[in-house]
């Protein structure tokens, strides 16, 4: 039994689930994956262009395997996006409760609802959906949502409301790393401090970065977990155009949390990093998973087209400084194209009009529900 479990777990929790589904004897003596609390971080949900009928397509970035899953829990819920761990961030259309769903195991984590208490400038569900950028989770216990460049809220599953955090500078990137939640702002790298008892969570300085020019409108900073090493990717846009596009430069820094500083890197340890042009989604992938992926390269992914299911990909080869502009392959799509579509996709929630009987908060003139206030 132990040998079977070891073999089944060697690649992915998906193999464990498949074996339980087809083997009655194994299912009767093995644990439900939802009870195990296992997060298979290798799976990413690709855009709808890769779906088969009503089954969403998931790609394993460590093996290159694709599976198609039907996810009933997406019904009557907004799909806000995905966490850095591959969990789906959902918002129930009726109560506005925020959920985190492990799409492979089916485990669901319930968080407080989206309310007007989250941030002063969010008064309607429409505001929340449009400002949502990304989410991060630590050990099933603490979740953080980034709402715009100035909004960061934190909560635990047992909390009734979200608590606002106050970053120093505009937020460029948010992610979970080594059991903690970090964010890169225009001034520094900060970490969420929650250890103190009976004290509100707060953001404190984790490291200062020295990236040359000041970070501004034409600069994107993105934190990435590069195989257990926290790195900072900086993409800067110049004022001159090359082939009709703004000239770009890319640099990578290792975040030294002990020294509280950043150190320039000449590569990414033989791996490959994918980032988008907004800085809110990134992945570090082993280069050997596909021959189409170049080692020590940063792929900048942008301009995802929902109709064609393609994205523009610019490759920054770090060792020699070479840049390949728009290096998309012709069909059939390579693994680079698949990951680029996921990274470049801009999540848009469907702001459909609510039905009167299912809208407990009332509908505004534009058809979007407003939040319940204290006096209600």
DSSP-based three-state secondary structure for 203 = strand
Task: Locate the DSSP E strands across 161-201.
Answer: 163-165, 171-177, 180-185, 189-193
Look at residue 35 in the predicted model and tell me its pLDDT: 54
**Angle, vertex CA 273, rays to CA 139 and CA 173, nearest 5:** 55
Query: What pLDDT is recorded for position 19?
Result: 60
> Global pTM?
0.82
| Pairing label, strands 56-60, 66-69 | antiparallel
Cα→Cα distances 329→260, 296, 302, 314, 338, Å: 40, 19, 15, 12, 11
Give the pLDDT score at 126: 86
**What is the mean pLDDT, run by run of 10 residues, along the chain of 376 residues?**
56 60 65 56 89 92 90 89 88 93 87 87 87 87 91 92 93 93 94 78 91 63 96 84 72 96 95 92 93 95 87 93 79 84 77 34 36 36
Token pair for residue 198?
Answer: 């009976």
Q: 223: closest CA among 211, 213, 237? A: 211
Structure tokens at 206: 């984790």
Supply the pLDDT for residue 26.
62
Are 296 and 319 in contact by the 8 Å Cβ rule? The answer is yes
């Amino acid at each position: 039994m132990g040998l079977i479990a070891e073999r089944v777990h060697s690649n992915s929790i998906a193999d464990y689930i498949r074996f339980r589904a087809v083997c009655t004897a194994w299912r009767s003596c093995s644990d439900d994956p939802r009870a195990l609390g296992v997060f298979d971080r290798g799976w990413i949900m690709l855009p709808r262009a890769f779906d088969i009928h009503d089954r969403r397509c998931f790609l394993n970035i460590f093996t290159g395997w694709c599976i198609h899953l039907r996810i009933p829990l997406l019904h009557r819920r907004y799909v806000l996006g995905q966490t850095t761990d591959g969990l789906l961030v959902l918002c129930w259309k009726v109560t506005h409760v925020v959920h985190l769903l492990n799409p492979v195991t089916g485990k669901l984590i319930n968080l407080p609802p989206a309310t007007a208490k989250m941030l002063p400038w969010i008064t309607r569900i429409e505001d929340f959906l449009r400002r949502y950028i990304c989410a991060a989770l630590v050990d099933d216990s603490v979740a953080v949502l980034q709402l715009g460049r100035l909004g960061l809220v934190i909560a635990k599953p047992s909390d009734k409301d979200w608590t606002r955090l106050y970053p120093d500078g505009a937020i460029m990137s948010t992610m979970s790393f080594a059991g903690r939640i970090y964010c890169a702002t225009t001034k520094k790298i900060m970490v969420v401090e929650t250890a103190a008892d009976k004290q509100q969570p707060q953001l404190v300085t984790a490291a200062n970065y020295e990236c040359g020019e000041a970070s501004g409108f034409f600069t994107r900073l993105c934190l990435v977990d590069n195989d257990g090493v926290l790195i900072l990717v900086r993409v800067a846009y110049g004022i001159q155009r090359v082939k009709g596009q703004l000239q770009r430069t890319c640099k990578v820094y290792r975040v030294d949390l002990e020294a509280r500083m950043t150190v320039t890197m000449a590569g990414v340890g033989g791996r490959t990093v994918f980032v988008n042009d907004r800085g809110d989604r990134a992945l570090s992938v082993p280069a050997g998973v596909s021959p189409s992926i170049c080692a020590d390269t940063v792929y900048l992914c942008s301009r995802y087209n929902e109709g064609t299911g393609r994205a523009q990909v610019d490759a920054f080869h770090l060792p020699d400084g070479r840049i390949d502009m728009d290096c998309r392959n012709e069909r059939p799509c390579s693994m680079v194209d698949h990951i680029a579509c996921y990274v470049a996709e801009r999540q848009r929630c469907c702001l459909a009009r609510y039905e009167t009987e299912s809208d407990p908060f009332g509908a505004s003139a534009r058809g979007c529900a407003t939040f319940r206030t204290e006096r209600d």
